[in-house]
Chains A and B, each alone.
Chain A
Amino acid sequence: MESTRYLVKTHLITDIGFYKSNRQDIPFFVCNVSFLIPPDNLKAISELLYFLTFEDKPAEFCLTIHLEGALNAGVNEKWMSFFITLLADINYSKFRGNHIVFIDSVANMTETYQWVKNLSDQLRSLGFKKIIFHDIRETECEDFRLFNIDFLQNIDSAERLLSESIKELHFYFFSKVIIHESKKIENFINAVSSLEERTTNMAIQINNLNALLANQNEYVAYLEESLKSKTEYLSFLLRPVQENSNDHSSTEVLSDIQKMKNFYHYEYEILPLWFKRLGHIIKVIMGKRSFRSLFDDNVKKYRD
């Protein structure tokens, strides 16, 4: 079957950051799948979307775009509509809140860069502002470490990887082996799992803290957005209003809130302080305010 080609030919990404994803038999690793998709191939990407929606879904997954041959400068819009549906899946892998898309390119470097830039620009216009594109042929990345597991076979390399993870906080490794037949990855995970308890506990703690940090960052972003929205709304309320008197002209008038604000300013705020204080004493004499409230902020101020 055509679909099998794309679903089987995957990279396996193992991420230390998802310990809690109900993997009791593997102490702190969950294997996440990165599905390989070619650009502009609607059949492949639509079949992957059906597979993930109706048949099976990994706890985490991400996408690896396989680029080869001559690339069209633009990204097919129909393909893009499937691509954003996959990106918006709640199980899509993210690094500190940012989507991760791996690029596996055998195409010309300039073309690859241009294609990825076009994709990135289009995604930004659709609201996906934070996406990490990473070339899997490069192991170094600003955000995380990427290791090719094909070369890691024994416990020594596993131990080295784990100590790296503690330093780097986050890493991925991948293999080009076919997931269904991979013994090597399972052996490797078992090797890492059998490492010294204290080391593994440290890794777990770091991962938990990372998860907490990601959560807090999301909350901060929400608060920032909320504050920005309120500030904008306030400036909207206080803006002068354009009123169309007829089809051809408009006059600028003050909004009701601005009028109220001006009224408060001119009728009260500009009065001298001694006058305002005297006003409060008059309120006490008239029985509208309690005497104690003049000296104590914790008592009831006004009589109902």
Chain B
Amino acid sequence: MSGELVKLLSDLKEPEALQFVESALAKGVDPMTLLEDAKQGMSIVGERFAKGDYFIPDLMFSGEILKGIVKMLEPHLKTAEKTERLGKVVVGTVAGDIHNIGKDLVVFMLDVSGFEVLDLGIDVPAQKFVDAVRESGSKIIGLSGFLTLAFDSMKKTVDAIQEAGLRNKVKIMIGGGQIDEQVRNYTGADAYGRDAVAAVQLAKGWIGG
């Protein structure tokens, strides 16, 4: 029965949601319907988050439940379903810095918010960001960094994008432990975000949503 999976997922009932999918599949329910319900559940999660009822851990957990559901549905889906995406975002931790917790949160949040994320990983040289933008045509870059050394790496990355003639084609946002308006100004980025939620808001403000 439609609607139940929407509720189970949006209320973060993991075992119940997985159980529901399992028995629905056994009963011959169309896997596409289940996938649609799961997506609807996720959008309710997003709404609750926007209203302040849900927090980052709730989002991360809903993402895990969704992963479990998709894994069960995948063998039953005939064609790989292409989801509509808001746009592409290139994200990475800048050169010299190998911290990934904040960067991973941003990647996750952008992903569940409907963006296609190209995660370049950690300790990413400036040129790699330039190449990724060229190849993907992405209009947004997110630079992450935890250490003070990241200030200079971010600046170098922004400079490299400028030198590659791409600066007016992309918006650049930065974030991480010690990043603030002063650092944004120093690096020449367009904006800084205090947390993963801010990154999503910035991205949506720039290209969609």
Co-complex (A, B): no
Q: Which residues of A are at the interface with B, using a C-beta cutoff of 8 A?
A: none
B residues with CB within 8 A of A: none
